[in-house]
């Protein structure tokens, strides 16, 4: 297995400084870049391990603290195993932070993250890929639509609110996307009901976006996150296969 080097980095943004985790193969050679958007629980040990696994496959991976406006990591104190059923106050603390991440903030921040990758000696020249989880899937879609000249592939897993009826819904950027997209939806996910899945599919098809959207049967919202009770090993391995296949086709 490829040795991986992971380091903490700071990224200047228009609104402050975002702390982040940067992982890359230890041989020091520049590699294709992947911007990795976390779920609502943010940058934490398990997400660093996911970034390391992706880096071991031959990529330079940046995982930003997207909630940096509210503090450095950990923005919210979390147990090693995150179970909202045990701590019902968790979403009272996390929810407002997630809602504060408006589309205009996402777009500004994405520009800063992409500039950081472009400036890194560990990143090969050319476009990047983006992947995101839960709320990060929304950020992945918005980034692909806002920076089509920089994003060659984008993925999202167990994403929520991807195609709402609001005027700032992420699916409305479809007409600007030039990347290839992949989405692995959770089954019976209340944050992404069937009508939103259909609306997203129709928007991507109408815009001529190369894409594949799949529902993972029986998988709950959060199925990739082994530090939560939603984890589903079979669905998680399916996610890894789909993501690496997308990256292989892109780079």
pLDDT given at position 2 = 82
Q: What is the pLDDT of residues 83-115, one digit of tens each?
A: 999 998 999 999 999 999 999 999 999 999 999
pLDDT given at position 243 = 98
Percent of the chain with pLDDT over 90: 99
Percent of the chain with pLDDT over 70: 100
pLDDT given at position 80 = 96
Q: What is the pLDDT of residues 202-240, one digit of tens each?
A: 999 999 999 999 999 999 999 999 999 999 999 999 999
Q: Which long-range CB contacts under 8 A does 202-209 form with residues at least 24 apart?
A: 203/163, 203/171, 203/172, 203/174, 204/171, 204/174, 204/177, 206/174, 207/174, 207/175, 207/177, 209/174, 209/177, 209/179, 209/180, 209/181
pLDDT given at position 147 = 98
Give CA–CA dist 105/86, Å, rounded: 32
Average pLDDT score over residue span 23-31: 97
Q: What is the pLDDT of residues 124-174, one digit of tens each?
A: 999 999 999 999 999 999 999 999 999 999 999 999 999 999 999 999 999
pLDDT given at position 156 = 98
> Is it the case that residue 191 has pLDDT exceeding 70?
yes
> Is it the case that residue 1 has pLDDT exceeding 70?
no
Whether the Cβ atoms of residue 188 and residue 217 lie closer than 8 Å to each other: no
Domains and CATH numbers, the chain: 4-250 (3.40.50.1820)
Model confidence, pTM: 0.98
Whether the Cβ atoms of residue 193 and residue 163 lie closer than 8 Å to each other: no
| Local structure of 133: helix, strand or coil | strand
Give CA–CA dist 8/119, Å, rounded: 16
> Is it the case that residue 120 has pLDDT exceeding 80?
yes
Q: What is the pLDDT of residues 41-98, one digit of tens each?
A: 999 999 999 999 999 999 999 999 999 999 999 999 999 999 999 998 999 999 999 9
């Amino acid at each position: 297995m490829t040795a991986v080097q992971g380091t903490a980095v700071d990224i200047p943004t228009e609104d402050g400084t975002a702390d982040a985790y940067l992982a890359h193969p230890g041989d020091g050679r520049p590699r294709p870049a992947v911007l990795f958007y976390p779920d609502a629980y943010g940058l934490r040990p398990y997400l660093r391990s996911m970034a390391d696994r992706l880096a071991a496959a031959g990529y330079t991976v940046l995982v930003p603290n997207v909630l940096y406006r509210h503090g450095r990591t950990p923005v919210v104190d979390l147990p090693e195993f995150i179970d909202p059923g045990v701590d019902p106050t968790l979403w009272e603390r996390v929810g407002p932070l997630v809602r504060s991440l408006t589309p205009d903030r996402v777009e500004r921040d994405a520009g800063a993250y992409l500039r950081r990758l472009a400036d890194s000696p560990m990143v090969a020249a050319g476009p990047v890929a983006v992947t995101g989880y839960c709320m990060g899937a929304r950020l992945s879609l918005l980034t692909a639509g806002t920076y089509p000249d920089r994003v060659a592939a984008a993925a999202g897993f167990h994403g929520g609110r991807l195609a709402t009826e609001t005027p700032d819904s992420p699916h409305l950027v479809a007409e600007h996307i030039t990347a290839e997209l992949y989405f692995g939806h959770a089954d019976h996910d209340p944050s992404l009901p069937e009508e939103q899945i259909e609306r997203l599919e129709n928007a991507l098809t109408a815009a001529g976006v190369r894409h594949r959207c799949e529902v993972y049967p029986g998988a709950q919202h959060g199925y990739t996150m082994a530090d939560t009770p939603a984890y589903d090993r079979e669905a998680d391995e399916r996610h890894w296969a789909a993501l690496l296949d997308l990256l292989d086709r892109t780079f």
